[in-house]
């Protein structure tokens, strides 16, 4: 629960929000976000929730922008407020509200030299080496990596059966030769048991947390002398771009990454959004040419 006191004039409406959220059995982090963002807004508006109008929400969004709050955080704020006012209080304050367009930033791509530096730095620890290799060579997401069990590897077929947190993203990924070497080195050090996690957590039956893994990768990048902020997604994204530079099609990359839609894969390219289909296709082709020129071996 949040530690800031709810203003007396909003206690009743806020209690309704808490009740609805608890009934929906949200994760603790989601519950905290919805309550925190709604309370922040109510403190800003300084009036009973029942008297809030569209103008109050517009002023609040402008306030967040001036504070340099990220586009994605503003979108979550709006979703939280919509849930409160529309679903809990049954108010139409969003009827004339124009939601700001989401801003997309093309993720950072590491070049081949930076990838080599990072993997070389990580190689001092078989565990760190394998974590980075699974993100880069297999294109796995952080949630997929930390949940990996030894039983998901088929060394005879040189493949990994990826059980994603999102069922539609389940897939089988073929292992790169370099990844196989790194896996075997790790296997020699820790041994294998089909039902056990590759990366066990602090307590029995648990796995490493995504937060710990991301911190580890960020530290490795600093040790390797890479100035950009690096996450496991940076490695996954870099691998996709490097494959495009090698001539792989967008459809091949879509299957490799486990994207349900080709549009998701296309969003990895540095192109403007909301273009007419014909113009968009030209932008995609131009982006692919630039990628081949910049990242091909």
266 and 128, same domain (yes or no): yes
Q: Could you give the angle at which helices 54-66 and 71-82 cross, rounded to 10 degrees?
A: 160
* Domain match, 245 and 133 both: yes
Residues 162 and 217 in one domain: yes
Residue 223 lies in a domain: yes
Check: pTM over 0.85? Answer yes or no: no
In a domain, 292, yes or no: no
DSSP string of 263-278, one letter each residue: HHHHTTSS--SS--HH
* Chain CA centroid to CA 11, Å: 34
CA distances from 77 to 4, 39, 81, 152 (A): 17, 11, 6, 38
Residue 219 is predicted with a pLDDT of 95
Kindly state whether residues 216 and 117 are assigned to the same domain: yes
Domain boundary among 89, 121, 152: 89
Among 89, 120, 136, the domain boundary falls at: 89
State whether 68 and 184 are in the same domain: no
Provide the CATH number for the domain around residue 85.
1.10.150.130
Could you tell me what percent of the chain has a pLDDT over 90? 58
- Asked whether residue 191 is assigned to any structural domain, the reply reads yes
Domain containing residue 257: CATH number = 1.10.443.10
* Domain shared by 17 and 78, yes or no: yes
Name residues of the chain where pLDDT drops below 70. 1-2, 101-106, 165, 191-192, 194, 272-274, 297
Question: Does one domain contain both 252 and 121?
Answer: yes
In the prediction, which pLDDT does 194 show?
Answer: 67
In our burial notation (b when 16+ CB lie closer than 10 A, e otherwise), range 141-172 reads bbebbbbbbeebbeeeeeebebeeeeeebebe
Same domain, 129 and 269: yes
Is residue 33 one of the residues assigned to a domain? yes
Per DSSP, the three-state class of 188 is helix
Are residue 77 and residue 138 in the same domain, yes or no?
A: no
Give the three-class secondary structure for 150: helix
Tokens of 112: 């081949």
Same domain, residue pair 248 and 123: yes
Burial of 235 (0-12, 13-18, 19+ CB in 10 A): buried
**Residues 166 and 85 reside in one and the same domain:** no
User: E strands, the chain, where?
Assistant: 153-154, 159-162, 171-174
Domain assignment present for residue 35? The answer is: yes
Tokens of 16: 């309704």
In a domain? residue 100: no
Say how many domains are in the chain.
Answer: 2
Residue-wise pLDDT tens digits, 255-278:
999 988 888 888 888 776 667 777
Q: Are 224 and 165 in the same domain?
A: yes
Residues 118, 131: Cα–Cα separation, whole Å: 12
Q: Residue 30 domain-assigned? A: yes
Range of the domain at 136: 112-274
For residue 106, is it within any domain? no
Q: What is the largest CA-CA distance in the chain?
A: 66
Contacts for 33 with CB less than 8 Å, ≥ 6 apart: 76, 80
- In angstroms, the CA 146 to CA 206 distance is 10
* Span 107-117, pLDDT tens digits: 789 999 999 99
Tell me the three state secondary structure of residue 200.
Answer: strand
The number of beta carbons lying within 10 Å of the beta carbon of residue 119 is: 20
CA distance 195 to 191: 12
Three-point CA angle 284, 103, 212, nearest 5°? 100
Position 89 scores a pLDDT of 93
């Amino acid at each position: 629960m949040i530690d800031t006191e709810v203003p007396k004039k909003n206690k009743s409406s806020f209690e309704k929000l808490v009740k609805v959220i608890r009934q929906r059995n949200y994760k603790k982090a989601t519950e905290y976000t919805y309550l925190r963002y709604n309370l922040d807004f109510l403190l800003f508006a300084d009036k009973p929730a029942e008297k809030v109008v569209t103008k109050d929400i517009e002023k609040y969004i402008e306030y967040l922008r001036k504070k340099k709050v990220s586009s994605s955080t503003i979108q979550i704020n709006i979703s939280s407020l919509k849930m409160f006012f529309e679903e809990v209080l049954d108010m139409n304050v969003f009827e004339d509200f124009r939601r700001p367009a989401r801003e997309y930033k093309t993720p950072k791509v590491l070049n081949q030299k930076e990838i080599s530096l990072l993997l070389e730095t990580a190689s001092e620890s078989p565990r760190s080496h394998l974590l980075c290799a699974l993100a880069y060579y297999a294109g796995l997401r952080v949630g997929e990596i930390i949940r990996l069990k030894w039983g998901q590897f088929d060394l005879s077929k040189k493949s990994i059966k990826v059980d994603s947190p999102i069922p539609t993203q389940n897939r089988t990924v073929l292992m790169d030769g370099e990844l196989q070497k790194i896996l075997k080195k790790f296997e020699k050090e820790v041994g294998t048991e089909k039902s056990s996690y590759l990366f066990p957590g602090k307590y029995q039956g648990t796995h490493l947390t995504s937060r710990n893994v991301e911190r580890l990768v960020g530290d490795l990048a600093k040790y390797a002398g890479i100035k950009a902020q690096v996450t496991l997604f940076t490695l996954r994204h870099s691998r996709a771009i490097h494959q495009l530079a090698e001539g792989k099609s967008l459809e091949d990359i879509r299957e490799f990454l486990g994207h349900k839609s080709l549009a998701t894969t296309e969003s990895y390219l540095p192109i403007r959004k909301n273009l007419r289909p014909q113009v968009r296709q030209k932008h995609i082709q131009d982006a692919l040419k630039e990628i081949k020129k910049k990242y091909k071996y």
